Amino acid sequence: MTMDNKEHDIQLFKPTYAVDECLAEIRECLEIGWTGLGFKTVKFEEAWKEYTGLPHAHYLNSATAGLNMAVEILKQEKGWADGDEIITTPLTFISTNHAIPLNNLRAVFADIDNTNCLDPKSVEERITDKTRAVIFVGFGGNAGHYEEVAKICKEHGLALILDAAHMSGTRLHGEIPGKDADVVVYSYQAVKNLPTADSGMICFKEEKYDAIARKIGWLGINKDTYSRTVNAGNYKWKYDVEYVGNKLHGNSIMASIGLVQLKYLDRDNAYRKEMCKWYRERFSKYPELIEMIHIPEECDSSCHLFQIIVAHRDEMLLALNAAGIYPGVHYTDNTQYRMYAYAQGTCPRAAYVSDHVISLPLHMRLTRDDIEYICDQVIKIAKEQADAK
Ligand SMILES: *Cc1c(COP(=O)(O)O)cnc(C)c1O
């Protein structure tokens, strides 16, 4: 981190924890001697199901693990063939898309719209007789045109995977979205809206897939057999292995933090929303200089990100750094990476956003003065850039 500016040091993200409460939950684990799978992980799964209204939830070590497992289980259970296609967005963190080729499937990229989420029209255009699923990313907490994409999936018999890594707390028509998706995956990575250190949740619609996830996420071990023998009081070491699995499940230390942070999720998101309102009020006076991301009226976003689109992004980032402001970029259009370069040029809006978008600082420690200062700087720089051209 460079310190060009003595007065200001405003970072993009700075997670905030209810420290004493987190430590009390963790202390309980340490005192009883249970830090692994079970105990707090089960409590967090129950709390998450209650909060979201989703029928199943399995706690994992990351959302990346959840996305990989979501594709793996759907492919295996629905009998998809190697080379079958999943339609996805180029504007996302790379783990969304790696889940596809990791399972020997082909990522087909559809373009985004003014919500930074998948454009339903583009999704429909990319459907072939090999399409099996769509992965929808609720970008920055925005549900975008999720409902239209869900409708397209239903009409074409496609599975729907909701990458809700940014969506902890997002409501759509007043409800947590994703009940119509085959699977919803959340992230509680260190800088997400519900930060732990690293962990995630996989929420399958169907109970049988949830049961498979619990096996595949623990090396394929059949725990039903295990618990049966435990209940019988004998042969605790005896279990069967039904799948080739991996070690993907979460642990009780992370779940302790998650349980505490969940209590404050709606409160924290409300303050994020307030900060976004302050940004929007200022920038809405300069539509020719600063484009904002459209959030449909029916969506109450978690406000994971506040993004703007500007003409001279890289120069603006440098100028903001000089003013002690350190924004981010979410994300590089994935088709610009070598692994997905076969799709370069197929998603012009995503390519444009990738070159012009800025994520401005948004976290619980920012004050209204900080936001006003950031707005002053962004507007000043944008005006100078426009005058210079
Ligand atoms: C952070 C993120 C992930 C991965 O989450 P992890 O918990 O870090 O594995 C997946 N998709 C999106 C859109 C993300 O932002």
Helices (H), 79-169: 94-98, 120-125, 146-156
| pLDDT at site 1 | 47
| pLDDT at site 271 | 98
Alpha carbon distance 171, 107 (integer Å): 28
Question: Is the omega angle on the peptide bond into residue 331 within 30 degrees of 0, that is, cis?
Answer: yes
In this predicted structure, the answer to whether residue 229 has a pLDDT above a threshold of 60 is: no
Would you say the CB of residue 334 lies under 6 angstroms from ligand 1? no
In this predicted structure, the answer to whether residue 241 has a pLDDT above a threshold of 50 is: yes
| pLDDT at site 237 | 72
Mean pLDDT of 266-275: 98
In this predicted structure, the answer to whether residue 234 has a pLDDT above a threshold of 80 is: no
The backbone torsions φ and ψ at residue 88, rounded to the nearest 5 degrees and listed phi first, read -145, 175
Report how far ligand 1's centroid is from the alpha carbon of 117 (Å): 15
* DSSP code per residue over 304-353: --EEEE-SSHHHHHHHHHHTTEE-B-----GGGSGGGGGGTTS-HHHHHH
In this predicted structure, the answer to whether residue 233 has a pLDDT above a threshold of 70 is: no
pTM: 0.96
Would you say the CB of residue 61 lies under 6 angstroms from ligand 1? no
The tokens for 259 are 């349980």
The tokens for 220 are 């394929």
What is the crossing angle of helices 63-78 and 207-216, to 10°? 120
Alpha carbon distance 37, 112 (integer Å): 38
Would you say the CB of residue 59 lies under 6 angstroms from ligand 1? no
DSSP code of 361? P
| pLDDT at site 226 | 53
Mean pLDDT of 118-127: 98
Percent of the chain with pLDDT strictly greater than 70: 96
The tokens for 337 are 């990476």
In this predicted structure, the answer to whether residue 223 has a pLDDT above a threshold of 90 is: no
Per-residue pLDDT tens digits for 333-369: 999 999 999 999 999 999 999 999 999 999 999 999 9
Would you say the CB of residue 126 lies under 6 angstroms from ligand 1? no
Q: Positive or negative CA dihedral for 381, 16, 138, 135? A: positive
Average predicted confidence (pLDDT) for the chain: 95
The backbone torsions φ and ψ at residue 131, rounded to the nearest 5 degrees and listed phi first, read -70, 130
Mean pLDDT of 320-332: 98
| Closest ligand 1 atom to Cα of 187 | 7
In this predicted structure, the answer to whether residue 290 has a pLDDT above a threshold of 70 is: yes
| Closest ligand 1 atom to Cα of 65 | 9
Strand residue runs (E) in the chain:
10-11, 58-60, 85-88, 106-109, 131-137, 159-163, 171-172, 183-187, 200-204, 221-222, 240-241, 291-292, 299-300, 306-309, 325-326, 357-360
| pLDDT at site 231 | 59
The tokens for 300 are 């109450």
Mutate which of 163, 249, 329 for ligand 1? The one with the most ligand atoms within 8 Å of its CB, which is: 163
DSSP code of 5? -
* DSSP code per residue over 169-200: T-EETTB-S-TTSSEEEEE--TTSSS--SS-E
Would you say the CB of residue 196 lies under 6 angstroms from ligand 1? no
Would you say the CB of residue 165 lies under 6 angstroms from ligand 1? yes
| Closest ligand 1 atom to Cα of 166 | 15
| Closest ligand 1 atom to Cα of 67 | 10
| pLDDT at site 6 | 72
Residue 155 · residue 336 · CB < 8 Å: no
The tokens for 77 are 């259970």
- How many other CB atoms sit within 10 Å of the CB of residue 177? 24
Report how far ligand 1's centroid is from the alpha carbon of 214 (Å): 20
Mutate which of 13, 60, 64 for ligand 1? The one with the most ligand atoms within 8 Å of its CB, which is: 64
Alpha carbon distance, N-terminus to C-terminus of the chain: 30
The pLDDT-based confidence of 224 (bands split at 50, 70, 90) is low
Per-residue pLDDT tens digits for 152-203: 999 999 999 999 999 999 999 999 999 999 999 999 999 999 999 999 999 9
- Closest CA to ligand 1's atom 6: 63
In terms of Cα–Cα distance, which of 180, 87, 98, 172 is closest to 136? 87
Report how far ligand 1's centroid is from the alpha carbon of 6 (Å): 33
| pLDDT at site 125 | 98
Report the relative pairing of strands 200-204 and 171-172 from DSSP bridges: unpaired
What is the crossing angle of helices 252-263 and 19-32, to 10°? 150
Alpha carbon distance 366, 291 (integer Å): 22
